[in-house]
Amino acid sequence: MDPVRTCVGCRARASRSALLRVVHTESRLVVDDGGSMPGRGAWVHPRRSCVELALQRRAFVRALRVPGPLDTQTLEERLNSYGNQVNGSK
């Protein structure tokens, strides 16, 4: 059975395989594909609405227990690539 995690954006519970694990590295949010990067992780659905809600609520900062703002460029690029895969464009 797959472990259950809570999305920091919409606060809905989902299986670990349905969520993205996000960690911080040098004040940047980075998607942890393998689920084995060191440090605390925050879990979020791979949907723009959940990520935007988490950023608006400062949920990543709280969940990762880091002071100050985080650079979200890497995470946003990753979400854009998911959207392209869903739409079938390259």
Residues in a beta bridge with 4: 15
4-87: what fold? Answer: Hypothetical Cytosolic Protein; Chain: A; (3.30.1230)
**Domain boundaries in the chain?**
4-87
Quote the tokens at residue 44.
């979020």
SS3 37: coil
Q: Can you give the pTM of this predicted structure?
A: 0.85
The string of pLDDT tens digits covering residues 35-79 is: 889 999 999 999 999 999 999 999 999 999 998 889 998 888 888
Taking only the tens place, the pLDDT of each residue in 78-88 is 888 866 554 44
